[in-house]
Structure 1
Amino acid sequence: MTDMIRISLQPDVAAEKWGKKVSLTPTAEGFQIHLDSKQPARSIQKAARQLDGLGIEQVELSGDGWTLELQWAFYLGFTSAKKLNGVQWYGEEATQLQQLASCFGWARQITNQTPEQLSPEALAHEAIEFLTPLAPDSISHRVIRGEELLTEGWVGIHGVGRGSERPPVMLVLDYNPTGNADAPIDAVLVGKGITFDSGGYSIKPSESMSYMKCDMGGAATVAAALGLAIQKGLSHRVQLVLCCAENLISGHAYKLGDILTYKNGTTVEILNTDAEGRLVLADGLLYASETGAPLIIDAATLTGAAMVALGNDYNALFALDTALQQRALGYANLVQEPTWPLPLAPWHQQQCPSPYADTANSRPIKGGGSGGASNAAGFLSRFVPEGGKGWLHFDLAAAFNSSNTGLWAAGATGMGIRAIAETLRQEAGKV
């Protein structure tokens, strides 16, 4: 016997004395979850949220029926910003579950940190310290900082971050398990790392700005996805590019009407300083293009429009390579991370016109106007090679919740990590 609170699964509905549609009832050793046969994982996650609400710190999963996915659903519901552990796994899948928990726990903890704790440079070094121990002989890195960015032509990261006293950085981390310094790079992951987004001169209202510590969620997601893939035996060379900056207001901040000229010659007029994520990602995508990698995946908490379209339950996936997009949707479904395709066509590149530059970074309409998520993806498509072949863009609508819900505690969720890790494992080295 143990004093640990035990959680078991019960396929039958709760007895009438507990009320209607009750999913959680007590037992002699803890609690039992009454499964909804139509959506078992969702019912378990909801029940786990109720247990967290009781103030329970640690539980042991026991009894029959606990598959990997059902145990993982429990973990997602039970954990919170203040409690990233506390689940004792059941059965032979404990190692896999612990790998997941270590990657999700890192990404959630980093994303939930305060803006004061997590500067752009600190974010880069946190990623280095998380990933390097996973494969110390196979990982090297370079941090490009402050004015070095401008010297090397990374005008988007520099422009967005120059208003802060804490310098912007680009992290390039190289995972090369081949031992061959000349091995081809099979994939590049690019993450938006805006450690705080005030909106700049297009300043956000307080109710929107209060949780903008989460705007580096894309960087956390791709770093954690790489970590998960490494733990699962990734054997291909992959580079990670994090585009890190604080978007603040000062006498040195970038302004509406400024024009940035990117390394590929594309000129961009700034019509909204709060559409900064696409500006930093453009640099990351250009770097990825220069490597010649046949697979490029970027992830970002990029647009409110994706959340309007999909809510907080699905991440949006954009691609011009529709065959790759369909395979990636299949990988996301395999690991049960809700992901939905939104429209992207070549003509979306023209949806933010400028009389002074090749394009603007947004439209001079509140929220960027209709189709904002597709227009942002169209902007990014200007910076990838071969008409978008081999490129995927995840707009992480489900990566963060500003308040508690029936499925999630407030804060980062980690949604997107498994889908990207599985896509990387399945697609890297195919070409």
Structure 2
Amino acid sequence: MSSLIERKSGKHAFIPVETVDTAGMPATEGRLDATQKQWLETIGFRPTVGNVALLPDAKGGLARVLVAVDRADPLSAIAGLPYRLPVGSYELADEGVVDDRLLAALGWALGAYGFDRYRKAPRAPAQLTVDGATLKTLAPLIDATAQVRDLVNTPTEDMGPEHLAAAVKAHAIAHKATFREWVGDELLAENFPTIHAVGRASHRPPRLIELTWGKATHPKLIIIGKGVCFDTGGLDLKPADGMRWMKKDMGGAAHAIALAGLIMQAKLPVRLTLLVPAVENAVAGNAMRPGEVVVTRAGYSVEIDNTDAEGRLVLCDALTYAAEQEPDLIVDFATLTGAARVALGPELPALFTNRDGLANEVIAAGNLVADPLWRLPLWRPYRRMLESSIADFANAGPSRHAGAVTAALYLERFVPDNVDWMHLDTYSWNDSDRPGHPRGGEAQGLRAFFRFLSERYA
């Protein structure tokens, strides 16, 4: 939050940042003095998106910043500036071409994020001054996004199942919620067999983490996050390239934890349950083997076609437990399939739901907060791709077609028809730096779902 500061009354001087584009450039030049116009000519400034000009004042100081933007992308407009500009305090100029100043300020804050747990940041970000109302609105979203990014960026040695439990417990303490967990063989005793099967080979015992908050009379909202803290692929071992970034396979849990925090901080009128099945998919003598059959909490027998299709296994017991509570809505987040990335790329999470209305509402909410989602179909004829000759169905199959769809169809079997349900297959990662989206862990769908839930339960 140090990159956004509240503008106080007084005679403080903040350096204005003006957003410009080709259409607005003549008006901008009309406000500049002769020396500044000459400076733009000298440096060859053109209003091409991303270009920045630092305009001097008469004493050789910094008078104004011009940044060329795409006015249709307010989040990214100034997001690249916190580390490009000299350390100091800036403000958005009234004359800029970007109308949505709230999203612009959010972009600045997201662009100022840095993960410094293991090395010191080379410098502090430049600060943007905003009014108190803007800061109050954005602060929770910025903090929640930082939590997602921090959790995903942290290597598995420091982000195992027990660390996810600690993150949930911290929220429980802060918001006076109820916390409990089932660890190791307690999962078998309490009938969570698939969570146990996936995580039993790790030196860190698997667990199901639960937080409960809110009045019992309010609508029941259950949020589930896939917490696979590292995914070797199990005995169907991933190659080195596929395993390199599998610390991020708990990105769904990171989203669920941060969203639960937002909901409690906003005091939405819901009876909230957060569920995080947390495991490592490891290799050992007792690892789950291809061809085994596991009987799930729901009573379905599932043949293990591929031990690398483990996320749906840990989620299915959590979904069954959630459905037993007869909720108003279930939302699950998961870094579930590479097929979703092939279909939609790394920046667009795949949304699945059993209700058309829900899809329309959350996608619309995402568009309002620059957090886009794209719906993929629950095409039920593809259930045949998960058929098994010895069990009710398999967790995967031989076909490489429609992998995101078949994974969602697997999960759908554990959600009763009368329960509203949404599933987000999110990458939770930036492969490269973009304005507002630094390389590494990323929150994708967090703002969209918080906006949607705020509207649904307002």
TM-score (norm 2): 0.83
**Residues 30 and 216 of structure 1, relative CA distance in 2, 3 Å threshold:** farther
Establish whether residue 235 from structure 1 lines up as the match of residue 269 from structure 2. yes
The Cα of 1:406 is off from its aligned counterpart by 5.7
Structure 1 residue 224 and structure 2 residue 262: aligned? no
Equivalent residue in structure 1 for 2:136, among 79, 95, 105: 95
Q: Which residue of 2 aligns with 1:393?
A: 423
Partner of 1:373: 404
Structure 1: distance between partners of 2:93 and 2:371? 26
Gapped runs of 5+ residues in structure 1?
none
**Structure 1 residues 148 and 418 mapped into 2: Cα distance closer, same or farther (>3 Å)?**
same
CA positional deviation for 1:31: 3.6
Runs of 4+ in 1 over 6 A off after TM superposition: 1-4, 55-58
**1:383: which partner in 2?**
414
Question: Equivalent residue for 1:18?
Answer: 44
Once the two structures are superposed, residues 110-140 of structure 1 have per-residue CA deviations (whole angstroms, 9 ceiling, x without a partner) of 111110001102111112213531x22xx11
Distance 1:283 1:320 in 2: 19
**Residue in 2 that maps onto 1:425:** 454
Instruction: Check the 8 A contact 1:301/1:396 in 2, yes or no.
Output: yes
Distance 1:403 1:247 in 2: 27
Look at both structures and tell me which one has the larger radius of gyration over its CA atoms: 2
Amino acid of the residue matched to residue 256 of structure 1? P
Q: Deviations over 1:216-269 (max 9, x none)?
A: 111110111121122223121110000100011011111101111012211111
- After TM superposition, the structure 1 = structure 2 runs for residues 341-380 of structure 1, keeping only pairs within 5 Å, are 341-365=375-399, 369-380=400-411
Q: CA deviation at 1:72?
A: 0.9
Higher mean alpha-carbon deviation, 303-312 vs 371-380, is at: 303-312
> 2:219, 2:269 within 8 Å by CA — same for their partners in 1?
no
The alpha-carbon deviation at position 19 of structure 1 amounts to 4.4
* Residues 192, 317 of structure 2: 8 Å contact kept: yes
Aligned to 1:157: 195
TM-score of the pair, normalised by structure 1: 0.88
2: distance between equivalents of 1:259 and 1:409? 42
- CA distance, structure 2, for counterparts of residue 165 and residue 188 of structure 1: 29
Q: What SS does structure 2 have at the residue aligned with 1:351?
A: helix
> What are the within-5 Å matches in structure 2 for residues 71-90 of structure 1?
71-82=105-116, 86=125, 87-90=127-130
For residue 342 of structure 1, report the CA deviation from its aligned partner.
0.7
Q: Residues 15-414 of structure 1 correspond to what in structure 2 (within 5 A)?
A: 15=40, 17-20=43-46, 21=48, 22-27=50-55, 28=62, 31-45=65-79, 47-48=80-81, 51-52=82-83, 54=84, 60-64=90-94, 67-82=101-116, 86=125, 87-91=127-131, 92-133=133-174, 135-136=175-176, 139-176=177-214, 178=215, 182-183=216-217, 186-365=220-399, 369-386=400-417, 389-397=419-427, 399-405=428-434, 408-414=437-443
- Is residue 20–residue 66 contact of structure 2 (8 Å, CA) maintained in 1? no
Contact 1:140 1:173 in 2 (8 A): yes
Identity, in percent, stands at 33
SS at match of 1:8: strand
CA distance in 1, matches of 2:294, 2:224: 20
SS at match of 2:346: coil
Specify whether residues 42 and 55 from structure 1 end up closer, same or farther in structure 2 by C-alpha distance, changes over 3 A only: closer
Distance 2:436 2:447 in 1: 18
- The CA deviation string for residues 35-90 of structure 1, in whole angstroms up to 9 with x for no partner, is 32333333433x33xx53x5967754443357111111222233233369944441
Q: How far apart are the structure 1 equivalents of 2:13 and 2:234?
A: 53
Say yes or no: does 1:416 pair with 2:442.
no
In structure 2, C-alpha distance between the alignment counterparts of 1:428 and 1:358, rounded to whole Å: 37
Greater mean alpha carbon deviation, residues 418-427 or residues 307-316? 418-427
